[in-house]
Structure 1
Amino acid sequence: MNEEVMEHIFLLVLVTVLSVMQNALFAQKVEKECKANNGKSAAFDRLSCASRNCMDAYPTFLAVMWCAGICLSQAPAAFAGIVYLVARQKYFVGYMGQTSQSTPGFLFGKRILSFLSLMCVVGVLNYLLTTYGGNDYKEYIQTITKAASTLLLIP
């Protein structure tokens, strides 16, 4: 692969690989609980539901993270991706207790997906402005998104 291309997507690839490993860990926990109780326990139901919910949001996460990273800026998109993985872990672990304990992780993950979606829209709009208007605001927007990505850590 071209080194220049790899330089622009390396962090996104790294977050994607980490997310795949996290999915495997979730699946392993569900399988372990299933084998321990033959799939007839409340813990298995909660784990299975949490895993299913995480997998339902996974394609959306990957799409907006990659779109934000390619269209706008790789570093803030990858940072938001890592924070999303932490939020998803918090959601999964919270779901193992009582379902109400998973709410903070769910809301935090939703906020991160909104940030990544906004990055996608801004990146596409900047491309359209550059192509049809002749003005490129990418440097300004990247500066703002790098600063704004740290705000994701505020609860």
Structure 2
Amino acid sequence: MDQETLGSIVLLVIVTLISVVQNAFFANKVEHESRHCNGKGLQRQGSSSFDRVYTANQNCGHAYPTFLAVLWCAGLLCSQAPAAFAGLMYLFVRQKYFVGYLGERTQSTPGYLFGKRIILFLFLMSVAGVLNYYLVFFFGSDFEIHIKTITGAISPLLLIP
């Protein structure tokens, strides 16, 4: 691959690799809790603390494929930097959800709701990129600069809870 192509995806790759490390952390927590509670290998039956860790890991895994899909679509079709920023925010929120789920379940709700908002933002970025492609294809009008400006301006608003 040439440097220009790599430059257009490197931030997305970094966010994806960080998410892989986070998944490994979650899996390690499940394994540790299983060994701590059962004294054996990974077993699904266990204490309530194991059940919480296992359920938190499962819940985080359910939205993960959707997150990766919209992260890459938004980054490739719209703008890499705001998509990568939103991806990092999503990983932070997912960590907050996981840790919150281990405590009281009400602590995980803000992370869950915030994560949904970030996925919606990435989805809308993807849709804007697809629409821009077809506007260029059919009408010759390119709104890429405007879309990048708007998404770049809106992405910091994701920090507002």
TM-score band (shorter)? over 0.9
* Regions of 4+ moved over 3 Å: none
- The residue number in structure 2 matching 1:89 is 95
Determine the C-alpha separation between the residues in 1 that align with 2:74 and 2:102: 32
Which shows bigger deviation, 33-42 or 44-53? 33-42
- The residue number in structure 2 matching 1:73 is 79
- The residue number in structure 2 matching 1:33 is 33
Report SS of the residue matched to 1:40: coil
Q: Does 1:99 align with 2:93?
A: no
Q: Shift of the alpha carbon at 1:102?
A: 0.4
Cα RMSD (Å) = 0.7
Count of aligned positions:
155
Q: Does 1:16 align with 2:16?
A: yes
Determine the C-alpha separation between the residues in 2 that align with 1:110 and 1:87: 10
- The residue number in structure 2 matching 1:118 is 124
Q: Does 1:52 align with 2:53?
A: no
C-alpha offsets along residues 113-136 of structure 1, whole Å, 9 cap, x if unaligned?
A: 000000000000000001101100
C-alpha offsets along residues 77-124 of structure 1, whole Å, 9 cap, x if unaligned?
A: 000000000000000000000211100000000000000000000000
Determine the C-alpha separation between the residues in 2 that align with 1:121 and 1:105: 24
- The residue number in structure 2 matching 1:3 is 3
2:13 partner amino acid: V
Report SS of the residue matched to 2:142: coil
- The residue number in structure 1 matching 2:48 is 42
- 1:111-150 → structure 2 map (5 Å cutoff): 111-150=117-156
User: Unpaired runs of 5+ in structure 2?
Assistant: 39-44
User: Unpaired runs of 5+ in structure 1?
Assistant: none
Q: Shift of the alpha carbon at 1:2?
A: 1.7
2:50 partner amino acid: F
Determine the C-alpha separation between the residues in 2 that align with 1:142 and 1:49: 38
